[in-house]
Amino acid sequence: MSTHFLIIGNGAAGYRAAKSLRKADGDAQVSIVTEERHPFYLRRQLGDFLAGTISLQELIFQSRNAYRRERIDLFLMTEVARVEPVSHEVVFATGQRVRYDRLLVATGTRAAMPDIPGVALEGVATFDTLSAAQEVKGLLDSARRAVITAEGVIGVNLAAVLAKRGIQVTQLAANDRFWPQMLDETTSGLVETVLEENGVVVRRGAPVRSIIGSDGRAAGVEIASGEMLPAELVFCGCRRQPAVDLLEGSGIGVGQGVKVDSALRTSAPDIFAAGDVTEPLEPEEIEPGSSAFCWQRAWAQGGLAADSMLGRAAEPALEAMRVRTSIFGADLAVIGRGHLPEGGDIEVVELRAAASVFRRLVFKNDLLVGAIVFGTGESVHELNRMAAERATRETVETTLGLLSEAPGETAIPRTYAAHCPICAAELVIHRGTPLGSLVHCEACGTNLAVAWDGRRGWLEMPRR
Ligand SMILES: Cc1cc2nc3c(=O)[nH]c(=O)nc-3n(C[C@H](O)[C@H](O)[C@H](O)COP(=O)(O)OP(=O)(O)OC[C@H]3O[C@@H](n4cnc5c(N)ncnc54)[C@H](O)[C@@H]3O)c2cc1C
């Protein structure tokens, strides 16, 4: 009898695994179950679909016929409610039971909706599936103002799409800096600067308290200070949590995601997991509640999971990538623990090649454990591989020649106001402005140099 490979989840990890399994074993039965109504589509490009730069046909990668041609059984709109490792069965929400020989859990993440009044109002949306994007598309024409209630990949993606459509966007950040689970202070400032330069208003230290409605529709957001921000569109669910509810009672180990070994085996025999649902690298050093959210990692793990399910010696996927995205055209990659602060056995090297190009390398006991690259795609691939391999500092240095670079200019870490030393007019210097760069005082026409001593900033006459 042929082996039945059953895959739960038809995203990057599940779809890639199904294709690889079919290719490697022509006789096997390969099935994918998904609660969504569409076949595989490019989830990370939902923003482009919303912006109208790609069509529905371009977004949906495979038609249902293509699955038939490849003899992959596709169960759409089918939720798996339970996994029963002892009997080798999964149970659908309808009660139907299906037996598997090898099972892959590739269920990704779910929106962590804030527990606040107003989330059920019309005009309050999430943005993580094609169905949700289609609904949001219908709301855009009548919206003038939008509030995005949390930071994250989805939040910045949405901010870019909405701002380009002329909608006035406010992006809320709960903490005093942007996206602290992923970014260090400097990168956080650079991301904020890009958003602000493109017309997005960033409100830090502004957790949302409730969503205010009028006639059943969203009318605005009340933040913790009591201030009301008017908005016809409110986006929640930018925070993600692994979709592991179906594993409750199965005995499969779950921490900050499904626990897997380097070959993506779970703690139950014949059950594997891949993609965003798996626990991130060394979770004890990543803040609780921050899951993986990375297409590249999910795609790579889908291939590795297929090898493992086939019983092949699987090459560990050298994937330390946690986020790879573009914010208004500026590349951002967060690799491993690139956000960790310096201290103890953690050493940080920061390199700035130009005002908006920043690299941050994080070493633990002289081994590369993470990096953040902003403003360029250069060296991201090598850093990802070296962080996954825990390359030595010497290897990093010789591979990239990075550490011999002069640190060059640095940026102002926070926005400050300073007086012109000539006419005393007040000028605002924005976070991310390169140290030593010139600003022009409109009042007296003097060019002034931006100065910062590590704690405070001022303006001075340029040195010749
Ligand atoms: C708007 C948006 C923008 C993004 N931008 C980027 C980006 O710029 N860069 C980047 O790297 N990543 C980005 N991502 C994230 C990227 O899409 C994910 O990392 C990737 O899709 C993860 O793949 P996956 O296969 O692990 O899970 P998913 O793609 O989430 O697929 C999991 C599937 O499992 C299904 N499922 C869950 N539970 C069950 C169940 N019990 N029964 C049946 N089916 C179930 C879900 O419905 C879903 O279809 C973005 C995501 C969104 C939504």
> Which residue out of 16, 32, 34, 43 has the highest number of ligand 1 atoms within 8 Å of its CB and is therefore the one to mutate?
43
Q: Is residue 440 part of a domain?
A: yes
The ligand 1 atom at the shortest distance from the C-alpha of residue 45 is 3
CATH of the domain at 284: 3.50.50.60
- What is the bridge-based pairing of β-strands 233-235 and 145-148? parallel
Same domain, 226 and 365: no
Does a structural domain hold residue 349? yes
Is ligand 1 within 6 A of the CB of residue 209? no
Residue 419 Cα to ligand 1 midpoint, Å, equals 49
Q: Is residue 408 part of a domain?
A: no
Q: Is 47 in the pocket of ligand 1 (CB under 6 A)?
A: yes
Nearest CA to ligand 1 atom 18: 295
Q: Are residues 352 and 246 in the same domain?
A: no
Span from the CA of 180 to the centroid of ligand 1 (angstroms): 22
Atom 31, ligand 1: residue with shortest CA distance: 11
CATH number at residue 430: 2.20.28.160
Task: Say how many Å lie between the CA of residue 229 and the centre of ligand 1.
Answer: 30
- Closest ligand 1 atom to residue 276 Cα is 26
On whether both 30 and 97 belong to a single domain, the answer is yes
Which residue is closest in CA terms to ligand 1's atom 1? 154
Query: Total domain count for the chain?
Result: 4
Per-residue pLDDT of the chain (464 residues; tens, 9 = 90+): 799 999 999 999 999 999 999 999 999 999 999 999 999 999 999 999 998 888 999 899 788 999 999 999 999 999 999 999 999 999 999 999 999 999 999 999 998 888 899 999 999 999 999 999 999 998 888 899 999 998 888 999 999 999 999 999 999 998 888 888 889 999 999 999 999 999 999 999 988 999 999 999 999 999 999 999 999 999 997 778 899 999 999 999 999 899 999 899 999 999 999 999 998 766 555 666 667 788 888 998 999 999 999 999 766 665 678 888 989 989 999 998 898 889 999 999 888 777 778 999 999 999 999 999 999 888 888 898 899 889 999 899 888 775 444 444 577 877 777 877 777 677 778 778 888 888 887 777 778 888 887 667 788 877 64
Identity of the residue numbered 91: V
Range of the domain at 91: 4-110+241-309
Q: Indicate if ligand 1 lies below 6 Å from the C-beta of 452.
A: no
* Residue 295 CB–ligand 1 contact under 6 Å: yes
Of 432, 351, 428, 430, residue with least CA distance to 189: 432
Q: What is the CATH number of the domain that holds 395?
A: 3.30.390
Q: Which atom of ligand 1 is nearest to the CA of 321?
A: 11
253 with 232, same domain: the answer is no
Of 111, 130, 105, nearest in space to 32 by CA:
105
Q: Are residues 275 and 342 in the same domain?
A: no
Q: How many helices (H) and strands (E) does the chain have?
A: 10, 30
Residues 285 and 270 in one domain: yes
Same domain? For 64 and 91 the reply is: yes
C-alpha 44 to ligand 1 mean position (Å): 8
CA 14 to ligand 1 center in whole angstroms: 10
- Whether 317 is in a domain gets the answer no
Q: 436 CA to middle of ligand 1, Å?
A: 43
Alpha-carbon distance of 339 to 370, in angstroms, equals 8
Whole-angstrom distance, CA of residue 189 vs CA of residue 196: 10
Instruction: Tell whether ligand 1 has an atom less than 6 A from the beta carbon of residue 178.
Output: no
Residues 36 and 99 in one domain: yes
Contact status, residue 200 vs residue 229, Cβ threshold 8 Å: no
Residue where a domain stops, chosen among 274, 309, 344: 309
